[in-house]
Amino acid sequence: MNSSDKKLIPYSKLLDDFKLLLRRNGLKFTVQREMILDVLYNSSEHLTPEELYELVKEQNPNLKTGIATVYRTLSLLEGERIVSSLSFGAQGKKYELGAKEHHDHMICTSCASIIEFVDEIIERRQQEIAKQFGFDMRDHSMQIYGICKNCKEKEK
Amino acid sequence: MNSSDKKLIPYSKLLDDFKLLLRRNGLKFTVQREMILDVLYNSSEHLTPEELYELVKEQNPNLKTGIATVYRTLSLLEGERIVSSLSFGAQGKKYELGAKEHHDHMICTSCASIIEFVDEIIERRQQEIAKQFGFDMRDHSMQIYGICKNCKEKEK
DNA sequence: GTCGCTGCAAAGTCTTTGCAGAGAG
DNA sequence: CTCTCTGCAAAGACTTTGCAGCGAC
């Protein structure tokens, strides 16, 4: 599993942050919410709500879980910037924990696979452009859309 | 309308290419297909299928047009690389002609103003990165979020 | 004339919502 | 106890598909 090489914070810290956030907003800490956070933390992939739902059920077969709760929790987490979402090709979104190192995305519009990358030249250039416009850059996102190697080969 | 300053090829050329392509594939050139291409050509925006459908109806109220045809035509055009699609936030896709100049966005989170820009260094670098991964880049989008010059000055 | 195209409506997907009971605080 | 959450099923939003008639070639 190569999921651990992207972790910036330990799970316990993430969990504490989440609990604090819930308390501050008069929301409740439930098993379902913990499971969803857990699965997100332990996955190196970008997950669709459906995939996340399956993983949660798999990891805890005793707990009844509805997909509606997954959607509701993702919505909550995204609003709090704990996860971020990407839209890809056909339909739907994929989610990932925001607590990872910054990276950009290359998205295959054919198979919806996602390649993460960071490029220093681009990162630096963005800063320069922002500066040029007197713009105070706080964040950015970049997606490259196209056809990945695998799909290109399949097409032939 | 500032849509015209982005055109890379004249409409007549685009239309001829489209007709040729149809003929080559044993497909037919219909009024609906022409209308859709026309609206796409004359819009500087990324359009949702729904928006495109509305514009087509508006521009040609006499012609009966179904949204299914819009979807089918977009699918065809995308398959032939004449239009490209982008998935945005919420849901659904937006389409635009591939024959336009590309630009990125700098978005002020304070006043929501948008600055468009193109940077050759970044554009080139993206191509290189895609190539590195054996990825066939079709499109990309980049957003820089932050505080624009005006808002920064106001804050003081 | 043939065979692809179109509009319509029905059927699919994916996501959200209403509700009554369960459970966290 | 109170008030939020949850699962379920129903409702929505967005796309695709089947079909019979229409129209490009």
Domain spans of chain A, in order of start: 1-101, 102-156
In this prediction, residue A112 has a pLDDT band, given cuts at 50, 70 and 90, of confident
Average pLDDT, chain A: 86
In this prediction, residue A2 has a pLDDT band, given cuts at 50, 70 and 90, of very low
**Contact (CB<8Å) B144/A145:** no
In this prediction, residue A1 has a pLDDT band, given cuts at 50, 70 and 90, of very low
Q: What are the chain B neighbours of A121 within 8 Å (beta carbons)?
A: 121, 125
Of B108, B136, B149, the CB nearest to A146: B136
Task: Look at residue B125 in the predicted model and tell me its pLDDT.
Answer: 94
CB A88 within 8 A of CB A112: yes
3-state secondary structure of A85: strand
Look at A94-98, A114-118, B72-76 and tell me which has the smallest mean pLDDT.
A94-98
Decide if A145 touches B, using CB distance below 8 A: yes
Other beta carbons within 10 angstroms of residue A4's beta carbon come to 8
Decide if A118 touches B, using CB distance below 8 A: no
The residue that leads in pLDDT, A119 or B150, is A119
A60-85 mean pLDDT = 92
Mean pLDDT, each 10-residue run in order, chain B (156 residues): 58 94 95 96 87 95 94 94 71 72 74 80 93 89 83 72
DSSP string, chain B: --SGGGBSS-HHHHHHHHHHHHHHTT----HHHHHHHHHHHT--S-B-HHHHHHHHHHH-TTS---HHHHHHHHHHHHHTTSEEEEE-SSSSEEEEETTB---EEEEETTT--EEEE--HHHHHHHHHHHHHTT-EEEEEEEEEEEE-HHHHHHH-
CB A87 within 8 A of CB B87: yes
CB B126 within 8 A of CB B137: yes
Task: Look at residue A14 in the predicted model and tell me its pLDDT.
Answer: 93
* Residue A121 CA from chain centroid, whole number: 24
- Beta bridge mates, A145: A107, B139
Q: What are the chain B neighbours of A94 within 8 Å (beta carbons)?
A: none
Decide if A148 touches B, using CB distance below 8 A: yes
Other beta carbons within 10 angstroms of residue B114's beta carbon come to 11
In this prediction, residue A100 has a pLDDT band, given cuts at 50, 70 and 90, of low
Decide if A146 touches B, using CB distance below 8 A: yes
The residue that leads in pLDDT, A103 or A56, is A56
**Contact (CB<8Å) B141/A143:** yes
Decide if A91 touches B, using CB distance below 8 A: yes
Task: Look at residue A4 in the predicted model and tell me its pLDDT.
Answer: 40
User: Under CATH, which number does the domain B1-101 receive?
Assistant: 1.10.10.10
d(CA A79, CA A142) in angstroms, rounded, equals 20
The tokens 């993206």 sit on which residue? B126
Q: Is the model's pLDDT at A153 over the cut of 90? A: no
pTM score of the predicted model: 0.79
The residue that leads in pLDDT, A13 or A84, is A13
* d(CA B28, C1' D23) / Å: 10
Which amino acid belongs to residue A136?
Answer: D
Task: Look at residue B91 in the predicted model and tell me its pLDDT.
Answer: 59
DSSP string, A86-141: EE-SSS-EEEEES-B---EEEEETTT--EEEE--HHHHHHHHHHHHHTT-EEEEEE
Strand C contact with B24 (CB < 7 A): no
The residue that leads in pLDDT, A51 or A4, is A51
**A1 contact partners, CB below 8 Å, separation of at least 6:** A44
CATH code 3.30.1490.190 for A102-156: yes
CB A95 within 8 A of CB B79: no
Nucleotide nearest to A73 (CA to C1'): D5
C-alpha separations of A1 from A81, A82, A101, A108, B3 in Å: 25, 22, 17, 22, 48
Task: Look at residue A108 in the predicted model and tell me its pLDDT.
Answer: 84
The residue that leads in pLDDT, A28 or B43, is A28
* CA-derived radius of gyration, chain A: 18
The pLDDT > 90 percentage for chain A reads 51
Of A89, A135, A141, the CB nearest to B87: A89
Task: Look at residue B107 in the predicted model and tell me its pLDDT.
Answer: 74
Q: Do domains B1-101 and B102-156 have the same CATH topology?
A: no
Question: Which phi and psi angles does B146 have, rounded to 5°?
Answer: 170, -155
